Amino acid sequence: MTLSLYKLARLYLNEEFTSGGEVPLSEDQVHYLRNVLRAESGLQVRVFNGRDGEWLAEIAALDKKRGAVRLREQIKVQRPQTMRVRLLFAPIRKQRLDILIEKAVELGVTDLYPVLTARTENRVLKPDRIAAQLIEAAEQCERLDLPVLQPLRGLDDILRRWDGPAILACVERRDLPVLAPLKGGADCAFLIGPEGGFDSREVELLCGSPKVSPVGLGDTILRAETAALYCLSLARAGAPDAPELKKEDGRD
């Protein structure tokens, strides 16, 4: 894709894509194009649906409440998902949760599992709001897919139902192996506790569960959102498409 195309507005459209087809816009997207970008019919945009890659399109119609784009050509192919990165997290306060969600999308999380623990402060989530944040973050960071938001569940319930890879549970103030960069691009799952940490019963549960591998994150105590993003960064470093660092000529 040429550099000039990256300057075009990018929209997520949950519709089927076919060359030459017209896809309707939501009212929010119409508002954004008309009132923020001052766009008009004929303007080119980029669109994706999480399944069919990214397409070049042009605005076919745009009035006060309705709009549509016409698909021209595919400019990015949808690659198959080779690695699932699951983040289990106790919801935190609004502003910090917003940061966690946005940056988790940028770092490649594929599944988000909000978890109720004894010390969870934010016990009521708004799935529609988070879904909108996931879309906005994916539009901005050039992702072709959207993470899946799972329903809010209690820790015991999640462990009882869990059938994924061993959960790397970040437990503070314990003599545990420190989490290292993951290798090989295998599926992984991280569990981050609430702002006050797991209580004693939960620590016993996590340390005794065959579905969990308790780990530490070093000597310093990280905020919940920092711990989550640190874990996702270690997963990203081991992803199959992660760039390798090359030594410069003449240096060891």
Check residue 184 and give its pLDDT. 74
Determine the Cα–Cα distance for residues 202 and 240; give it in Å rounded to an integer.
34
Structural domains in the chain, sorted by start: 3-76 (2.40.240.20), 85-237 (3.40.1280.10)
Q: What is the pLDDT along the chain (252 residues), one digit of tens a residue?
A: 666 888 999 999 999 999 999 999 999 999 999 999 999 999 999 999 999 999 999 999 999 889 999 999 999 999 988 899 999 999 999 999 999 999 999 999 999 999 999 999 899 999 999 999 999 999 999 999 999 999 999 999 999 999 999 999 999 888 888 998 888 778 999 999 998 899 999 999 999 999 999 999 988 889 999 999 999 999 988 666 654 444 444 443
The b/e string for 64-83 (b: 16+ C-beta within 10 A; e otherwise) is: eeebbbbbeeebbeeeeeeb
CB atoms within 10 A of CB 209: 16
Q: Residues 6 or more apart from 99 whose CB is under 8 A from it?
A: 225
Check residue 3 and give its pLDDT. 63
**Neighbouring-strand partners of residue 85:** 188
Strands 148-149 and 111-116: parallel
Tell me the C-alpha to C-alpha distance, in Å, between residue 65 and each of 12, 31, 55, 95, 116.
18, 8, 23, 31, 39
Rounded to two decimals, the pTM is 0.89
Instruction: Identify the residue whose tokens are 């766009």.
Output: 39
- CA-wise closest residue to 194 among 223, 162, 158: 223
Instruction: Identify the residue whose tokens are 């935190």.
Output: 92
